[in-house]
Chain A
């Protein structure tokens, strides 16, 4: 009985996140191509995707490394992009916090935008699910998405090794980021954060070690949080 319900929760997770396969494959391939164009070997590129498993942070690190930013700045900026993972972790905790430590550790590694978004939506609409069903569902959402990230990174890396370096791909990262950010501009707070960060980044461009990016990003976050707080107060 319990076995069947866990299995069906797992399958439901697979079904619900399957549409993301269409997004993940080309995105992973783009990372593979750009990383090898930046001079990484196929092995280094694939290791990057397996160890880090976070698209936007990987693109950030790649972009800043090609700009020859210092290691600490590369790490700080890429981790700042990944700060949202801490938010995902916090909001998943009431649902899967009761699972065993090793299950939570594996779930943590696989906490990505898609698995989080699909799972949290399900948990909120189906509160009757048991903690075990919730974790089974979570691993279901991971199954179509995360292995594709590794496989298509590899495909992209192999393709990228064949593309001559003269092919102007320097602008693919900014374009990718624009395409990610634009649909995320859902509220005034998100728009305010993005515009503030962009302007601050231009103003702070001459700050050494690319630290302007980090400062501008923090400024954007503060403005976003402030607008949200004001909107909430206005609604009350």
Chain B
């Protein structure tokens, strides 16, 4: 169960922080150019943080107490492949979840 103090701290903190990030330049910096190295790092935030969250969650899922789980790993591979080839986010999610449930039913 998520602690209520933590939940509201996260909602409010994340709300303020996200607005600050979005307002940082349009609101405060004006028309000045940002340093190239900074823009270069910001470009890779999503492809940096998200895989860092995904990798352990796929290989050592909390729901299986960290044990390797064939349906989850297969679902992840299907989603990744669909996403790479098809580039359709919602379609890839549906494909991945279908794989997960199909294998969970087959292997049980």
Contact = CB atoms under 8 A, between A and B. Distances in A.
Contacts of B51: 177, 181, 193-195, 197-198, 201, 220
Interface stretch (A7-15, A62-70, A122-130, A146-154): A62-70
Interface residues of A, number: 100
A58 B12 CA distance: 12
B2 A228 contact: no
B26 A197 contact: no
A185 B47 contact: yes
Interface residues of B, number: 71
Interface of B: 1-2, 5-7, 9-15, 17-19, 21-27, 29-32, 34, 37, 39-63, 72, 75-76, 79-80, 82-84, 87-90, 92-93, 96-97, 100, 104
A30 B93 contact: yes
19 contacts: A27-B89, A39-B1, A48-B11, A52-B18, A60-B50, A61-B14, A67-B62, A86-B42, A171-B63, A172-B93, A178-B96, A179-B79, A179-B83, A179-B90, A181-B50, A181-B83, A189-B44, A190-B44, A217-B49
Majority DSSP secondary structure for residues of B touching A: helix
Interface of A: 22-23, 26-27, 30, 38-40, 44, 47-48, 51-54, 56-58, 60-61, 63-67, 71, 74-75, 77-94, 96-97, 101, 104-105, 107-109, 111, 168, 170-185, 189-190, 193-202, 205, 212-214, 216-225, 228-229
Given A52-B15, A86-B42, A193-B44, A220 B79 contact: no
Given A38-B2, A178-B54, A182-B84, A84 B48 contact: no
